[in-house]
Amino acid sequence: MMKGCRVMVVLLGLWFVFGLSVPGGRTEAASPRANDAPIVLLHGFTGWGREEMLGFKYWGGVRGDIEQWLNDNGYRTYTLAVGPLSSNWDRACEAYAQLVGGTVDYGAAHAAKHGHARFGRTYPGLLPELKRGGRVHIIAHSQGGQTARMLVSLLENGSQEEREYAKAHNVSLSPLFEGGHHFVLSVTTIATPHDGTTLVNMVDFTDRFFDLQKAVLKAAAVASNVPYTSQVYDFKLDQWGLRRQPGESFDHYFERLKRSPVWTSTDTARYDLSIPGAEKLNQWVQASPNTYYLSFSTERTHRGALTGNYYPELGMNAFSAVVCAPFLGSYRNEALGIDDRWLENDGIVNTVSMNGPKRGSSDRIVPYDGTLKKGVWNDMGTCNVDHLEVIGVDPNPSFDIRAFYLRLAEQLASLRP
The residues assigned a catalytic role are 142, 346, 387
Residue 39: closest CA among 120, 131, 148: 148
Whole-number Cα distances in Å, 45 to 145, 226, 402: 10, 22, 23
CB of 369 closer than 8 Å to CB of 378: no
Rounded Cα distance between 389 and 63, Å, is 9
Helices 199-207 and 212-223 meet at what angle, rounded to 10? 90
C-alpha dist (Å) from residue 319 to 15, 233, 315, 316, 388? 34, 20, 11, 8, 11
The Cβ of residue 31 has, within 10 Å, a number of other Cβ atoms equal to: 10
**Strand ranges (DSSP E) for 299-409?**
301-303, 310-312, 365-367, 377-383
Nearest-angstrom CA–CA distance, 171 and 166: 5
252 marked as part of a ligand binding site: no
Residue 133: how many other CB atoms lie within 10 Å? 9
Q: Which residues share a beta bridge with 78?
A: 40
Backbone angles phi, psi at 90, to 5 degrees: -65, -40
Q: Binding site annotation covers 389?
A: yes
Helix (H) or strand (E) holding 39: strand 39-42
19 is in an annotated binding site: no
State yes or no: 110 annotated in a binding site.
yes
Binding residue per annotation — 90? yes
Rounded distance between C-alpha atoms, residue 379 and residue 298, angstroms? 12
Give how far Cα 399 sits from Cα of 25, 72, 74, 299, 342, Å: 19, 21, 22, 13, 24
Q: Give the residue numbers of the binding site for Zn(2+).
A: 90, 110, 116, 267
Q: Give the residue numbers of the binding site for Ca(2+).
A: 315, 389, 394-395
Q: Give the residue numbers of the binding site.
A: 90, 110, 116, 267, 315, 389, 394-395
